[in-house]
Amino acid sequence: MNEEKPLSELILKMMDSYQLSDKLIQTRVRNEWETIMGKTIARNTGKISIYQRTLFLEILSAPLKNDLYYHEKIVVEKVNQFAGNSVIDKIKIK
């Protein structure tokens, strides 16, 4: 007997099976970076990528880069909170 399941659950299972959920999260973080971190940080951020639970950031301002090193835990918490689960453990800043 087939059990009915919500469409959203089936879509999530399909995304996991095709390993697309990580790419979706990365795209959402990139698109909503200003919402997550604010205008000043977004304006001074170049490339953003996530690989193996690490957030890679290209920061264009040296003082901001230094400040983000000291506030790494806050950045990790904000991104994970935005994603709805734990998607990153650390950040690397260039």
Distance CA 11, CA 44 (A): 35
- pLDDT tens-digit profile of 16-46? 776 667 778 888 888 999 999 999 999 999 9
Q: Residues 63, 29, 46, 37: is their CA dihedral positive or negative? A: negative
- pLDDT at 13 > cutoff 90: no
Alpha helices in the chain (DSSP H): 7-17, 21-31, 33-37, 39-43, 62-70, 72-83
Q: What is the token pair recorded at 52? A: 């193996």
Structural domains in the chain plus CATH codes: 20-93 (3.30.300)
